Amino acid sequence: MIQKISAPVSVSFTFDSKKRKIFPKWIVWSGRLYPVVKIGLHHTYRQGRILYHVFSVTSKNLFFRLVLNTESLHWKLEEISDGLPD
Amino acid sequence: MVYPTNLVFNPKSSTMMHIDLNSCFATVEQQANPLLRGKPIAIAAYTTPSGCILAPSVEAKEHGIKTGMRVRDGKLLYPGLIVLPTDPEKYRNVHVSLRKILRDYTNDFTPKSIDEFVLSFDGYPILAKNSMRQIAEQIKQRIKDEIGEWLTVSVGIAPNRFLAKLASNLRKPDGLDEINKSNFLEIYSKITLTDLSGIKARNAARLAYAGIYSVTDFYKADIRTLKAAFSSINGYYWYLRLRGWEIDDFEFGRKSYGNSYALPKPLITPEELSPILSKLVEKMGSRLRRADYKARGIHVSIVYRDWSFWHKGISFPKVLFDSRDIYKKAFKIMCSAPYKKPVRELAVSCFNLLKSDFSQLELFEDVIKKESLVKAIDRVNEYWGDFIIIPARMVNAKGAVPDRIAFGGVKELEEFINNH
């Protein structure tokens, strides 16, 4: 099931300067910690002057769409899914 | 003009490559969300039962789900079908990443749509050290390494664009095939006329009337037969295409800008339709001005709930660039529709485009002032996001006319890439 959400979320984010790789390590949402195991896709879009980075990531069995507002540097959780039909 | 009529299959080695991202929208969604991989999913314009499926995944296609089907029909074929709305920004980003990879191999490449590219390697030094097949394998691997491991492309190689596309369609997903002087007859014997891009039922019937029933017949037919079958120069073009000679190396320029919207509610009167028309005009107008164009013609078309269709286009002596002026003309055209029936789809477009290099001044209106005002509004909308400043009549059209990717065209992608 896919659920659209619009909630602030805590994200731990790392940058490896040697590999030049970025990675959201874990997120805390609704009082629970979810370690990120995979980035499916990273893409960007603009809304007016603001650039948003979208990270489509999965924990063990949940998908999260995380969006970083590059002006405020705040994260938002926009979607979760368990990959099952409605 | 005298055309060569005794051509053999083009003997030159293959230098054209056609790359097709398999089940593009669905594969990109599966790339983004690994929990969807290996499952039948479909991307639809609307996820409601009457929404139209735009892209089924490879797994959904195995259950008979096809592009153009209604969501309800897809779910009848496979009740566990996962239906997702489109996410154009995601697909455009993947398209741009693909472009970046392809640019490393040749400057002579043409995106044919969001998921199709044609590359020419004619005269490129890379062919001195690598075969076309090696280049294709490298590109396939780089797509997996640099964009996403779930993405697969079918690659076709041939001496001309048409046969390269045909070769890319031979095996899906993840194909890599070549059509050349040594195997073309064998491949032609295995496919049907309607497998050829550009030959569907009506053209197949024309060919059957001329005694052509298979691709091999088509290849063997002489020019006179083909010209008679198509009643035009197209017969000669097909003669060249099937022999591997290039006839499709041209691009159509931009001739119009347009936006359309399928209404979720059946609205009838011009007053009810006015907010939607206003939003369509605002979107179209800002795209027109961003590309530095003005227009002399406006066209409105309406598809009604009973599938009847009405349209009207008018050319004007005055050039139009201000959305307010475009709206006034479009509204007048819409009001001239003779039917008062529930509307299914409303579309507006502008044509007779002119580059806005200079402005025709007028006696009773300050055109320069108006241009400056429109530019200022566009700048505010660009800075704060589209539709920050809107006409009051558009207030009720909030959320209508979402972002979409056009089928079979890349002109709107040019706008995206230029603005990126």
- What is the crossing angle of helices B132-146 and B88-103, to 10°? 140
Compute the distance between CA of residue B312 and CA of residue B390 in angstroms, rounded to an integer.
26
Torsion sign (Cα): B189, B192, B198, B202: positive
For testing the chain A interface, which of B33, B151, B378, B388 should be mutated: the one with the most A CBs within 10 Å? B33
pLDDT category at B409 given cuts 50, 70, 90 is low
ipTM over 0.90? The verdict is yes
In the residue annotation, B116 being an active-site residue is answered as: yes
Q: Which domain holds residue A34?
A: 2-81
- pLDDT above 60 for A50: yes
pLDDT category at B264 given cuts 50, 70, 90 is confident
- What is the crossing angle of helices B367-384 and B270-290, to 10°? 90
pTM: 0.83
- pLDDT above 80 for B121: yes
A57 falls within a domain:
yes
Extract the runs of DSSP E, i.e. beta strands, from B62-145.
82-85, 109-113, 116-120
Residue B85 touches partner A, C-beta closer than 8 Å:
no
**Residue B384 to residue A44, Cβ atoms within 8 A:** no
Residues 6+ apart with CB under 8 A from B28: A41, B90, B91, B94, B148, B151
**Residue A54 to residue B148, Cβ atoms within 8 A:** no
Among candidates B356, B279, B244, B252, which has minimal Cα distance to B7? B244
A67 falls within a domain:
yes
User: Mean pLDDT, to the nearest integer, of B282-289?
Assistant: 91
Q: Which CATH superfamily is domain B13-181 in?
A: Reverse transcriptase/Diguanylate cyclase domain (3.30.70.270)
User: Mean pLDDT, to the nearest integer, of B89-110?
Assistant: 93
* Average pLDDT across chain B, whole number: 89
Per-residue confidence (pLDDT) for residue A37, from 0 to 100: 96
Per-residue confidence (pLDDT) for residue B419, from 0 to 100: 54
What tens digit of pLDDT does each residue of B321-354 get?
999 999 999 999 999 999 889 999 899 999 999 8
Per-residue confidence (pLDDT) for residue B355, from 0 to 100: 85
Residue B399 touches partner A, C-beta closer than 8 Å:
no
A86 falls within a domain:
no
- pLDDT above 90 for B414: no
- DSSP-assigned letter for residue B84: E
Residues 6+ apart with CB under 8 A from B311: B299, B300, B301, B302
A22 falls within a domain:
yes
pLDDT category at B400 given cuts 50, 70, 90 is low
Per-residue confidence (pLDDT) for residue B7, from 0 to 100: 84
Per-residue confidence (pLDDT) for residue B366, from 0 to 100: 84
A6 falls within a domain:
yes
- pLDDT above 60 for A4: yes
Minimal Cβ distance to B35: which of A41, A43, A83: A83
Taking CB atoms and an 8 Å cutoff, what residues of chain A touch B43?
A: none
Determine the 3-state secondary structure of B323 from DSSP: helix
Compute the distance between CA of residue B147 and CA of residue A12 in angstroms, rounded to an integer.
23
Minimal Cβ distance to B90: which of A41, A58, A82: A41
- What is the crossing angle of helices B323-335 and B270-290, to 10°? 140
Per-residue confidence (pLDDT) for residue B97, from 0 to 100: 95
User: Mean pLDDT, to the nearest integer, of B120-133?
Assistant: 91
A63 falls within a domain:
yes
Amino acid at B26: A
Give how far A29 is from chain B: nearest CA, Å. Answer: 19
Judge whether A81 and B33 are in contact, CB under 8 Å.
yes
Write the CATH number of the domain with boundaries B183-251. Answer: 1.10.150.20
For chain A, what is the domain count? 1
Radius of gyration in angstroms for the set of CA atoms belonging to chain B, rounded to a whole number:
24
Topology classification of domain B261-419: Dna Ligase; domain 1 (3.30.1490)
Structure-token match 């709107």, residue found: B412
Taking CB atoms and an 8 Å cutoff, what residues of chain A touch B28?
A: 41
Size of interface A-B (CB pairs under 8 A): 62
- pLDDT above 70 for B394: yes
What tens digit of pLDDT does each residue of B367-386 get?
888 888 998 988 888 888 77
Instruction: Give the neighbor-by-neighbor strand order of the sheet with A10-16.
Output: A10-16, A21-29, A32-35
**Residue A40 to residue B34, Cβ atoms within 8 A:** yes
What tens digit of pLDDT does each residue of A14-36 get?
999 999 989 999 999 999 999 99
Minimal Cβ distance to A58: which of B34, B79, B82: B34
Per-residue confidence (pLDDT) for residue B260, from 0 to 100: 87
Beta-strand relationship, A38-47 and A32-35: unpaired
Per-residue confidence (pLDDT) for residue B364, from 0 to 100: 80
Q: Which of B116, B178, B246, B282 is catalytic?
A: B116
Judge whether B311 and B352 are in contact, CB under 8 Å.
no
